[in-house]
Chains A and B, each alone.
Chain A
Amino acid sequence: MSQTIIEPVNDSADLSKEPLLQIRDLEVGFQTQHGLVPAVRGVSLTLYAGQTLAIVGESGSGKTTTAQAIIKLLAGTGKITGGQILFEGRDLAGLSDKQMQDVRGRLIGYVPQDPMSNLNPVWNIGFQVEEAIKANNVAQGKAAHQRTIQVLQEAGLSDAEDRLKQFPHQFSGGMRQRVLIGIGLSARPKLLIADEPTSALDVTVQRQILDHLGTLTRDYGTSVLFITHDLGLAAERAEQLVVMYKGKVVESGPSLEILANPQHPYTQRLVAAAPSLASRRIQSAKSDAADDVEIFSGGSLDTTLVARAAEREQAAETADLIKVQNISKMYRIRTKGLKYTELLAVNDVSFAIKKGTTTALVGESGSGKSTVAKLLLQLESITSGQIEFDGQDVAGLKGAALLKFRRRVQPVFQDPYGSLDPQYNVGNTIAEPLLAHKIGTSAERQARVRELLDQVSLPWATRYRYPSELSGGQRQRIAVARALALKPDVLVLDEAVSALDVLVQGQILNLLTELQTELGLTYLFITHDLAVVRLVADNVCVMQKGRIVETASTDEVFDSPRESYTQELLAAIPGGNFQFGR
């Protein structure tokens, strides 16, 4: 794909002919012991004033590196090895550190990815905003203080004046991201680089913040370079798309065109796999003419998923394997001296899961969904209520009976980096549950490991490798293999695919559905992402503030959500604004 220069969108009136940012054949490499490893290879893109351009790609595609190269904040040993970054005609690649300092903040603002780690924990919010204002000479002294309040209010913190002296840890993730957006826009830069500005946030918060960011940049006439892994999100928020793969631009052009007619095979796969798009696709497949589906399924990766999801209605009637009745979990939080406040994390929750089906538990962070998982897994005791598994009350299980229950109900957690022991090779990791339950001889365990690796489509040679040598997707496969080692009946998947790239996510979801058919597994799928739910779940329980607000089959939830909260969650799935096939 050599088409590099993007034509401006014709409907924006105020476009000047001179592009604001023009990257030409950018090359970035990282110095390692084995020489220079290229991360960005000949990237070119053009952004005009007032435009929003999104760079899309999976992790490792070089999208963040490209963005960081623009303001010359490459991590570690990163270096620009070739090409030009023309900003208003001036090549940023050739500027000195001192000159760059004047560009950063004042001309180019930056909103980083993770709001948790991007504010200095030891300085208060007001200080961190004010220093940006002073450094860029927007205002000094008392005026700077006034401006700080104004910037934060514009960023959506209405009580900014009272909260200036508070520290980052006293703010929620969404509020911190508002602060970072405020800092990025504080000097009214001409260009704002937003690097996955909301990927760490809940969907509804994500939507609010992106809406707000969109309004601000439109009001100020700021151009936005938007970096994201979510194609649906990118297409919704930007007029222009640049798709990157392995350090190269594989496709670029107006968003809707790319979405409707992806040319490069990678883009096609990406369009096919993006859960937000896939779930919309299922939606339109059910409601509208069948050609809509064809338009968007250029790739075939998820066609099985789509087909399976569409067939869910004919799920067989079987007995309930898990029956959760009116469970509650109360935490006592010590506040002052000997006083406690009580936090009802799970409030009177009931649901049932039939054998061989998938039930999704959906909600934002803090809704209590993970606590339900812990209660079900008997990792924490319930305060009141009853959990029945296969007709047996599990609440009071002890010793051998508890061990037996654990064998049948296995968890897979979100973080494939954190849930594998870095000192254990893959073979040992998978064999560990067998060892813990004293199952089989050494040779039999080896055979089982082999079988399991085969089931999760990993080569037998993987057994000698360590978690650090594997990709996120491979690690999550290992975690699934480990969970399957004891031939359980139920897998509790707590955000098991949330940390993965879309394509990898698609693969794991595919694997999980295959394993379900093959082994007759029952899943409790915990996630914040309704789009993923659409692909895998038979039934959905929507949780809010410790309660289940809506329980229904997946189709009912998507077709006719009853609760306003569910509707809000559905609306927050990116890509909702597209008119499919119309």
Chain B
Amino acid sequence: MIWYTGKRLLQMIPVFFGATLLIYFMVFSLPGDPIAALYGDRPPAPGVIDQIRAQYNLDKPFIVQYFIYIGNFFQGDLGTTYSGRPVSDVMAKAFPITARLALLALAIEAFFGILVGLIAGLRKGKLFDTSALVVSLLLISVPTFVIGFVLQYVFAVQLGWARTTVSSEAPLNELLLPALVLASVSFAYIVRLTRASVSDNLNADFVRTATAKGLSRRRVVGVHVLRNSLVPVVTFLGVDLGSLMVGAIVTEGIFNINGVGGTVYKAIKLGEGPTVVSFIAVMVVIFVLANLLVDLLYAALDPRIRYAK
């Protein structure tokens, strides 16, 4: 298992270089001149533009720019944005907010999703089950921004229970509403996944045998149905953790949160190569780690899965 983990971590190295090179190339190829765009309709003196280009190494060939960037990256210098802020500062501000939001959303969707899915699976065909299916279908089919605006209007504007927008510090209590919005779609998927898995496992031979042993219903469900049913759900949660951590542009936009999604979006629009690439590099690492976490959890839940050394 340690070997397996080590091997997976080593695999991150080529993934890191491949992803950053690709992203760097894509940002480099974006149409338009980012420096000219900074000045809008009134072009500055020609010398100024050249000076800024030299400062950001934009006058050099693509591959040279990339290696300069990577060289600085490993010295801890992630470059600066075109407005002069160090990229590391921007990251240090954006990632904690997104992480709080993501973990909160993950906790909400995991807890309620598994709970509702379990009950629905146990009462297949009954009223609770049918309602859960209808609600989850609704959540999946309605776009996130609609759910976001509706919840914002109801809870923040009408009821006044929450703030309409999140302050720049983004404390947990203010993030609750956005997290709810963010969690809604995945919640629906988890309900369906858990429900299907539970109802499958309820019919499994080993569950009948467990009942025949004389175990109580509660123990049969808790010990023999739930753990087996969690395997597919955990896979989903892990992948979802990855996508939540890299930010949610729509939800962050609605609640005016200065998280990763919004920051990267702005940086792409401005063509800020170093900012975009640095963020993406971190996102790639997060994704790979989240997937590794899933694989390790998988093995913990199901002993039949033991990874080759």
A180 and B203 alpha carbons, distance in the complex (Å) = 18
Q: Is A492 an interface residue (CB 8 A)?
A: no
Q: Is B33 an interface residue (CB 8 A)?
A: no
Are the CB atoms of A135 and B213 closer together than 8 Å? yes
Q: Is B45 an interface residue (CB 8 A)?
A: no
Chain A residues near B303 (CB, 8 Å)? 121-122, 124, 167, 169
Are the CB atoms of A102 and B309 closer together than 8 Å? no
Are the CB atoms of A75 and B203 closer together than 8 Å? yes
Within B282-309, the residues touching A (CB, 8 Å) are 301-304, 308-309
Q: Please, which residue of chain A has its CB at the minimum distance from the CB of B3?
A: A337
A119 and B308 alpha carbons, distance in the complex (Å) = 24
A169 and B204 alpha carbons, distance in the complex (Å) = 16
Q: Please, which residue of chain B has its CB at the minimum distance from the CB of A193?
A: B212
Chain B residues near A112 (CB, 8 Å)? 205, 208-209, 212
Q: Please, which residue of chain A has its CB at the minimum distance from the CB of B225?
A: A120
By secondary structure, the A interface counts as: loop
Q: Is A76 an interface residue (CB 8 A)?
A: yes
Q: Is B224 an interface residue (CB 8 A)?
A: yes
**A75, A102, A105: most-surrounded residue (chain B CB, <10 A):** A105
Q: Please, which residue of chain B has its CB at the minimum distance from the CB of A166?
A: B303
Q: Please, which residue of chain B has its CB at the minimum distance from the CB of A134?
A: B215
A112 and B216 alpha carbons, distance in the complex (Å) = 19
Given A112-B205, A114-B205, A167-B304 contact (CB < 8 Å)? yes
**Residue among B209, B223, B301, B308 making CB contact with A110, cutoff 8 Å:** B209
A187 and B309 alpha carbons, distance in the complex (Å) = 41
Q: Is B111 an interface residue (CB 8 A)?
A: no
Are the CB atoms of B223 and A131 closer together than 8 Å? yes
Are the CB atoms of B217 and A120 closer together than 8 Å? no
Chain A residues near B304 (CB, 8 Å)? 121-122, 167, 169
Are the CB atoms of A104 and B216 closer together than 8 Å? no
Given A76-B203, A110-B212, A169-B304, A122-B227 contact (CB < 8 Å)? yes
A75 and B227 alpha carbons, distance in the complex (Å) = 22
Chain A residues near B224 (CB, 8 Å)? 120, 123
Are the CB atoms of B203 and A131 closer together than 8 Å? no
Q: Is B161 an interface residue (CB 8 A)?
A: no
Chain A residues near B213 (CB, 8 Å)? 104-105, 110, 131-132, 135-136, 183
Chain B residues near A123 (CB, 8 Å)? 223-224, 227
Q: Is B206 an interface residue (CB 8 A)?
A: yes
**Residue among A117, A121, A124, A131 making CB contact with B215, cutoff 8 Å:** A131
Chain B residues near A334 (CB, 8 Å)? 308
Within A331-357, the residues touching B (CB, 8 Å) are 334, 336-337
Q: Please, which residue of chain B has its CB at the minimum distance from the CB of A334?
A: B308
Q: Please, which residue of chain A has its CB at the minimum distance from the CB of B300?
A: A122
A101 and B214 alpha carbons, distance in the complex (Å) = 5
Q: Is B144 an interface residue (CB 8 A)?
A: no
Q: Is A431 an interface residue (CB 8 A)?
A: no
Per-residue B-contact encoding for A178-207, CB less than 8 Å = 1, 0 else = 001001100100000000000000000000
**Residue among B206, B207, B216 making CB contact with A101, cutoff 8 Å:** B216
Q: Please, which residue of chain B has its CB at the minimum distance from the CB of A335?
A: B308
Given A105-B214, A114-B205, A122-B219 contact (CB < 8 Å)? no
Q: Is A317 an interface residue (CB 8 A)?
A: no
Given A169-B304, A336-B309, A120-B214 contact (CB < 8 Å)? no
Q: Is B5 an interface residue (CB 8 A)?
A: no
Q: Smallest distance from the beta carbon of A341 to chain B beta carbons, Å?
A: 14
B: interface residue count bin: 20 to 34
Q: Is B243 an interface residue (CB 8 A)?
A: no
**Residue among B206, B302, B308 making CB contact with A117, cutoff 8 Å:** B206
**A122, A124, A135: most-surrounded residue (chain B CB, <10 A):** A122
A269 and B38 alpha carbons, distance in the complex (Å) = 93
Chain A residues near B208 (CB, 8 Å)? 73, 75, 112, 118
Per-residue B-contact encoding for A115-153, CB less than 8 Å = 1, 0 else = 001111111100000011001100000000000000000
Are the CB atoms of B206 and A120 closer together than 8 Å? yes
Q: Is A162 an interface residue (CB 8 A)?
A: no
Are the CB atoms of B309 and A119 closer together than 8 Å? no
Q: Is B210 an interface residue (CB 8 A)?
A: yes
Per-residue B-contact encoding for A98-111, CB less than 8 Å = 1, 0 else = 00011111100110
Q: Is B228 an interface residue (CB 8 A)?
A: yes
Chain B residues near A76 (CB, 8 Å)? 203
Are the CB atoms of A104 and B211 closer together than 8 Å? yes
Q: Is A518 an interface residue (CB 8 A)?
A: no
Are the CB atoms of A106 and B214 closer together than 8 Å? yes
Q: Please, which residue of chain B has its CB at the minimum distance from the CB of A119?
A: B206
Q: Smallest distance from the beta carbon of B138 to chain A beta carbons, Å?
A: 28
Are the CB atoms of A118 and B214 closer together than 8 Å? no
A102 and B216 alpha carbons, distance in the complex (Å) = 9
**Residue among A97, A119, A136 making CB contact with B209, cutoff 8 Å:** A119
Q: Smallest distance from the beta carbon of A2 to chain B beta carbons, Å?
A: 32
**Residue among A75, A102, A124, A169 making CB contact with B214, cutoff 8 Å:** A102
Are the CB atoms of B214 and A132 closer together than 8 Å? yes
Chain A residues near B209 (CB, 8 Å)? 110, 112, 118-119, 180, 183
Q: Please, which residue of chain B has its CB at the minimum distance from the CB of A103?
A: B214
Chain B residues near A183 (CB, 8 Å)? 209, 213
Are the CB atoms of B214 and A136 closer together than 8 Å? yes
Q: Smallest distance from the beta carbon of A507 to chain B beta carbons, Å?
A: 29
A470 and B141 alpha carbons, distance in the complex (Å) = 40
Q: Smallest distance from the beta carbon of A177 to chain B beta carbons, Å?
A: 12
A101 and B301 alpha carbons, distance in the complex (Å) = 28
Given A104-B211, A132-B213, A117-B205 contact (CB < 8 Å)? yes
What is the interface of chain A, defined by CB distance below 8 A to chain B?
71, 73, 75-76, 97, 101-106, 109-110, 112, 114, 117-124, 131-132, 135-136, 167, 169, 180, 183-184, 187, 334, 336-337
21 contacts between A and B (CB under 8 A): A76-B203, A101-B216, A101-B217, A102-B214, A104-B212, A104-B213, A104-B214, A105-B212, A105-B213, A118-B205, A119-B206, A120-B228, A122-B301, A122-B304, A123-B224, A123-B227, A124-B303, A135-B214, A167-B304, A169-B303, A169-B304
Given contacts A105-B215, A131-B215, A135-B213, 5 further A-B contacts (CB under 8 A): A75-B203, A112-B208, A112-B209, A121-B303, A123-B227
| 10 A-B pairs with least C-beta separation | A105-B214, A110-B212, A132-B213, A117-B205, A104-B214, A120-B206, A167-B303, A118-B209, A118-B205, A105-B213
